[in-house]
Chain A
Amino acid sequence: MKRREFLKTSALGTMAMSLPLSRWQLFAQETSLPHAAFVKNGDPESLVMNAIQALGGMERFIQKGDKVLLKPNIGWDRSPELAANTNPEVVATLTTLCFAAGASEVKVLDRTCNEPQRCYRNSGIADAAAAKDAEIVQVRKNRYVEMPLNGKVLKSWPIYKDYLEADKVINIPIAKHHGMAKVTLGLKNLMGVMGGRRGSLHVNFAEKMADITQHIMPTLTVIDAYRMLMANGPSGGNPDDVRLVRTLIASPCTVSADVLGLELFGHSLSDTEQIKVAVERGLALYDTQNLDVARIDLA
């Protein structure tokens, strides 16, 4: 390891380890605002607007001059209708809100599973976000930083540099079926900033994910369930597996958002090892059994 890299890594590492949870999360729970927003029956834009408003507006999360990173799911070379990637309008609306709250820059990136240029383009996300002046960032192999974790299973794992350098991060998963993890929501979506051979994380998945995600929890998690992929996930491809649910969940706590997201599939916490382990290991900001949820029906 080069000296410069070593210094950088150890600086980041010390920072990460000095905090019980990630640096982006809200620690003071002084407000009486709800823990999460669950909005249904709207178009993507109004779902986002209402959810963010219910949580106290984007100004609560983004301060003037903040460098913001949006992490949608752009994993697959699929069109938006096939619900394998986050809805582009959701990403676009969040971009607008971030700039309105005073963000100095908004980056959008994901480490894709299929060829990156195809995914960025065919998901519609690159065009939609760029139209709102977001910076579309292609993930480069040399820009990962080895992050010390001292977890139960993993000692360290490479995380994307732009993610670590951002002032605020918004995690924007799409709610999907997943063969191995049963569902993929906010926690699983964070795999898109992880480097290395991600496939090897599948072995002892729940513990490994908890080891990593506890250090990189985002400021805000917005689960897009406008369209949901109910089978053959996470890659999908069959329009018959897609259900138009027109719902969106937002929460400052990724684990709480995921627990709420299970409702959409009719699963309980015990069905999904990964989210269950995250709750057990105390990664949630709130008591997930007694969440204060703002439920909004736009119909």
Chain B
Amino acid sequence: MQNLRKLVQIGFFLLFIILFLKARYPYEFSMGSDFGLRLSPLIPVFTFIETLSFPPLVIPGLIILLLTPFLGRFFCSWVCPLGTCLDATDHLIKTPKNRNAQRWDKLRFLKFANLIALVILAIFSVNLWGYLDPLSIFNRMLTVILYPLATLFTEKSLLVLSEISILETPAYYLFDLFKDNVMPEAQAHYQQVLLIALFSGAILAGEKLSRRFWCRYVCPAGALLGFMSQSRFYERLVGEECPACNMCISECKMDAIPGDDVSKTNKVECIECFNCGAACPPKTKAITYRWRWKPYHTQLDMSRRQVLTSMVSGVAGVGLLSIGLPNRNHERQMIRPPGSLAEAEFQDKCIRCLECVRICESNGGCLQPDAIHSSLTQLWLPAAHMRTGYCEYNCNLCAEVCPTDAIQPITLEEKQNWVMGEAYFREDLCIPFARDEDCIVCEEHCPTPDKAIKFELKLVQLPNGESQELKMPYVVPALCIGCGICEFKCPIVGKAGIFVTKAIDETSEMTYYS
């Protein structure tokens, strides 16, 4: 069984990697890249809290949830790619043995506390659970850290090889092959790299404290699945012949076998990795697994006081996140992808998985993980940065990959009419205004069929007394969709002579969450 588990685990890991790599233009992969992320068991729960319904997008997660009472926390060791990463980290850094990691054991309640606090926050419409969603963490790490690093090293080493004359042709052949199939045409670089690296690095570094530290003590998805598998119908039986060698205890990823009774299993913690069966000495083979319709029940590792404390901290969190002073100067910097829900709703639905950022980088590369402008909840939401990249007119891929439909799946035609921002000239920088010279690169690139940037011919008096006819650009607000190609292509070094701000939604008052 352990071998089967390993096989499935690697299979799912590869599936997640393939889905990630396939999330690029032209995106003709029949299985949508959002499918993988939708396997998260947290999505159905929090979607239900948010909408009081189960839209079709929750089906993959719901299947995982429905299997859990029968199979236990199988998701954690068979499916979850973050779990696989943690198992891999075990081999890299020396993880302490279970008996040496006992002192953390009293923290088991922490994951339930996390889950309860996140649920309470969600009820008050503050959705922070995406930060702790394991699939989201994995995708974020892949998008912002691992993939750009892999691109960097592959590109650089192939270019170095191409300097050697006999290797030039094969190196460029490989280079083009990678570019066309795996690597982005132009790798985007991201802000927030440091913070995301620290965040995911800390999770991996937890392996130095105990095996699967994240899964045992922190993960809210693990808490949810553990809660549902208290009386699971699949059990580990230990036969009479057991010599109590305790091999299974030390091999258990979750330390779910109590030290004083090898025949018991902590069902809340067991993730069905089947390490125990494989560790059982071949001579005895005392451990077998079986369906049992009258299972025994395992208590959640959590006291009433801890439940109360986590509820209070959840409520306090709602308060703290709602009473900060919004900085009105930043309100129009947070340009969301085309198709996004209104800001308040968007922040509720978005799980910060950065899949949209990932697919954007195969095109214009304008989406970035956002910084904290005035509230913690803005962290790592996708935001368009037009100076780094621009929104491709013919592209609606971000809308196609969003696992929670925070970016609505709009059609290309809808996208082309979607006003994500408004362009304004900075006349103190813009070349024709500031320097009396022709330029209008912005007008050249403006993609709307009837150009949103137009120009008028103006006779300008030059400082030397001569007059010259200049092309003075201007924006037609009714035509501008805020794609930002003007800001991106502006030839001025540094701050551009034209910039895009978030489109104003006249119907909603821009407040803290909107």
Contacts and interface: CB of A to CB of B under 8 A. Distances in A.
Nearest to A206: B438
Interface in B485-503: 489-491, 493
Contacts of A202: 438-441, 444, 491
B26 interface: yes
A29 B25 CA distance: 48
Nearest to A233: B444
B394 A118 contact: yes
Interface stretch (B40-48, B94-102, B219-227, B449-457): B449-457
B392 to A, nearest CB: 6
Contacts of A261: none
A57 interface: no
A115 B392 contact: yes
Interface string A111-138: 0011111100110000000000000001
Contacts of B493: 197
B437 A204 contact: yes
A236 B441 contact: no
A118 B451 contact: no
Given A115-B364, A180-B444, A203 B25 contact: no
A115 B491 contact: no
A104 interface: no
A191 to B, nearest CB: 11
A199 B491 contact: yes
Contacts of A117: 25-26, 180, 185, 362
B426 to A, nearest CB: 16
Contact of B444 (A142, A200, A234): A234
Contacts of B438: 180, 202-203, 205
Interface string A206-249: 00000000000000000000000000101111100100000000
Contact of A118 (B25, B437, B444, B489): B25
B363 interface: yes
A33 to B, nearest CB: 36
Interface in A51-107: 77
Contacts of B460: none
Interface in B407-454: 431, 435, 437-441, 443-451
A153 B445 CA distance: 25
Contact of A121 (B26, B439, B440, B444): B26
Interface residues of A, number: 31
A116 B180 CA distance: 11
B440 A180 contact: yes
A138 B179 contact: yes
Given A118-B394, A121-B26, A200 B491 contact: yes
A124 to B, nearest CB: 14
Contacts of B440: 179-180, 202
B437 to A, nearest CB: 5
A178 interface: yes
A235 B439 contact: no
Contact of A115 (B25, B180, B449, B489): B25
Contacts of B435: 203
A180 B471 contact: yes
A232 B451 contact: yes
Nearest to B389: A115
Given A115-B363, A138-B176, A203-B431, A179 B449 contact: no
Contacts of A237: 393, 447-449
A109 to B, nearest CB: 12
B439 A203 contact: yes
Nearest to A137: B176
Contacts of B446: 235
A160 to B, nearest CB: 14
B392 A118 contact: yes
A235 B26 contact: no
Nearest to A203: B437
Contacts of B18: none
Contact of B363 (A4, A118, A234): A118
Interface string B446-483: 11111100010000000000000001000000000000
A118 B450 CA distance: 21
Contacts of B455: 179
B159 interface: yes
Contacts of A77: 392-394
A138 B394 contact: no
A116 B365 CA distance: 13
Nearest to B447: A235
Given A118-B363, A118-B394, A236 B491 contact: no
A52 B392 CA distance: 37
Contacts of B491: 197-200, 202-203
A138 B185 contact: yes
Contacts of B447: 114, 235, 237
A80 to B, nearest CB: 14
Contacts of B394: 77, 114, 118, 122
Nearest to A116: B185
Interface string A161-181: 000000000000000001110
Given A118-B25, A118-B363, A204-B437, A180 B443 contact: yes
Given A121-B26, A179-B440, A202-B440, A235 B392 contact: no
Interface in A248-281: none
B185 A114 contact: no
B445 A235 contact: yes
Given A115-B25, A199-B489, A203-B439, A178 B185 contact: no
A232 B450 contact: yes
Contacts of B443: 179-180
Q: Which residue, B395, B437, B445, B455, has most C-beta atoms of chain A within 10 A?
A: B445
B450 A238 contact: yes
19 contacts: A4-B163, A116-B185, A118-B394, A118-B395, A121-B26, A179-B455, A197-B493, A198-B491, A199-B439, A199-B489, A202-B438, A203-B437, A203-B439, A205-B438, A234-B444, A235-B444, A235-B446, A235-B451, A237-B448
Given A122-B394, A237-B448, 18 more contacts: A113-B489, A115-B185, A117-B26, A178-B444, A179-B440, A179-B451, A179-B455, A180-B443, A197-B493, A199-B439, A199-B489, A202-B438, A202-B444, A203-B435, A234-B444, A235-B447, A237-B449, A241-B449
Interface of B: 25-26, 159, 163, 175-176, 179-180, 185, 362-364, 392-395, 431, 435, 437-441, 443-451, 455, 471, 489-491, 493
Interface of A: 4, 77, 113-118, 121-122, 138, 140, 142, 178-180, 197-200, 202-205, 232, 234-238, 241
**Which 8 pairs between the two chains have the least Cβ-Cβ distance?**
A199-B491, A238-B449, A237-B449, A199-B441, A200-B491, A179-B443, A203-B437, A202-B439
